[in-house]
Amino acid sequence: MVDHAPSPSQTMRTVRLLDAASGLDGVIAIHSTALGPGAGGCRFWRYPNIEAATQDACRLAKGMSYKNAMAELPLGGAKAVLRYPEGDFDRAALFRAFGKAVDALGGVYVTAEDVGTSVADMAQVSTMTRHVAGLDPAEDMAGGDPSPWTALGVFDAMRTAARLTLDAELADLTVAVQGVGNVGASLCRQLAEAGAKLIIADIDAARCRALADELGATTVDVAEIAAADADIFAPCALGGALTQESVAAMKARLVCGAANNQLATPDVADALLARGIVYAPDYVVNAGGIISVSAEYLGEDEASVRTRVGRIGPRVARLLEQAAREGRSPAMVADEMAEAIIAGAAEKAA
Ligand code: NAD
């Protein structure tokens, strides 16, 4: 393990992970510990080299700092990225070696699942360290599936943003939902309950059809959902839904969804602003998941999770109001707010 640079509160620190015996090869990036331990999941993916993995880890760690700060969690931001080994390897041993490395950091980094990792992997990690969340609730009284909390936060944020920017109730609006997986389906059920009309699309046609039948939703092809005839567009699939092209064709006046990294490139925020489409920033809207996962680590109960998730809607409202007053993109306003929260905590700690 090679530890680059000491850890001032907002300077990226990277810890190289290398264990030939288990095949562990990766990096932990810690962006900020000003608000508390750097928290962020562990991604297990194929990367051509350690430089590419490190670059991704740093970008994701910074994103976690912003998300945790805006969710008012006592947590900084970090991320682990592990390279998927070529050839055979012992998965359990690899995650135990990772757990050992996490433990050696003494709580500066708290891990959990991310793309490519599972509850079973985190169970292996937990044999080596207590600085892990996302464990099986049956075994460990932990938080369990965060998706319903994420969906609840998105729903509240959407209802608030619709009142504020469209001057309408969800019952009078049509919402186009891209991706009806764990979060998207749960969001659709809440929207249907609130009386919203739904247009949905998913690459899993059977899943999409079943939900449409259950809720009386209209289905469209995945290529058409971003330009569907709707008031609100809710990206709930993978990242990058908002591109110059999709924004140019969009009929919706409000974007509010669960997906991470919705802006394909930063300049898309300006394109949305120029077209008068209000964008509720993804990491503020979808914080229900990290709130639920971190409650397990912070020892908070369900009532605290509900309280924290209940603050997402009002936070989005403040953010959109400020952005409208200043004629700026809510994405930029959110980044500045997050940076100010982190800088304030760093100053206090100094
Ligand atoms: P999921 O895998 O359960 O669902 C994603 C769905 O999107 C799947 O049904 C998939 O078939 C569909 N999909 C993929 N590509 C598509 C495309 N091009 N067009 C339409 N549908 C497509 O994932 P999830 O847990 O529901 O998460 C959805 C998004 O929300 C992800 O971006 C995730 O990072 C983000 N998010 C999730 C949580 C959480 O608590 N699960 C928390 C924060 C953010």
ipTM of the complex: 0.99
Q: Residue 69 and residue 72: Cα distance in Å, rounded? A: 5
pLDDT over threshold 60, residue 102: yes
Indicate if ligand 1 lies below 6 Å from the C-beta of 182. Answer: yes
Cβ-contact 47, 53 below 8 angstroms: yes
Looking at every residue in the chain, the average pLDDT score rounds to 93
Indicate if ligand 1 lies below 6 Å from the C-beta of 40. Answer: no
pLDDT for res 28: 98
Considering the candidates 62, 67, 79, 100, report the single residue annotated as catalytic: 79
Pocket test for ligand 1, best of 115, 203, 256, 309 (most atoms within 8 A of CB): 203
Task: Give residue 188 CA to ligand 1 midpoint distance, Å.
Answer: 13
Q: Does domain 147-341 have CATH number 3.40.50.720?
A: yes
pLDDT bin (cut points 50, 70, 90) of residue 348 is confident
Q: What percent of the chain has pLDDT over 70?
A: 95
pLDDT over threshold 90, residue 10: no
Indicate if ligand 1 lies below 6 Å from the C-beta of 204. Answer: yes
The residue extents of the domains of the chain are 2-64+76-138, 147-341
Q: Name residues whose C-beta falls within 8 Å of residue 337's C-beta, 6 or more positions apart in sequence.
A: 70, 319
Q: Which CATH number fits domain 2-64+76-138: 3.40.50.10860, 3.30.930.10, 3.40.190.10, 3.20.10.10?
A: 3.40.50.10860
Helix axes 302-310, 147-165, angle to 10 degrees: 20
Task: Give residue 260 CA to ligand 1 midpoint distance, Å.
Answer: 9
Predicted structure pTM score: 0.91
What are φ and ψ of residue 289, in 5° steps?
Answer: -65, -50
| CATH topology match: 2-64+76-138 vs 147-341 | yes
Indicate if ligand 1 lies below 6 Å from the C-beta of 238. Answer: yes
Q: What is the pLDDT of residues 242-292, one digit of tens each?
A: 999 999 999 999 999 999 999 999 999 999 999 999 999 999 999 999 999
First to last CA, the chain: 28
Is 79 noted as a catalytic residue in this protein? Answer: yes
pLDDT over threshold 50, residue 140: no
**Amino acid identity for residue 279 in this structure:** Y
Of 178, 271, 272, 265, nearest to 226 by C-alpha is 178
Pocket test for ligand 1, best of 202, 242, 263 (most atoms within 8 A of CB): 202
Look at 137 and 40; give whichever has higher pLDDT: 40
pLDDT for res 124: 97
Indicate if ligand 1 lies below 6 Å from the C-beta of 28. Answer: no
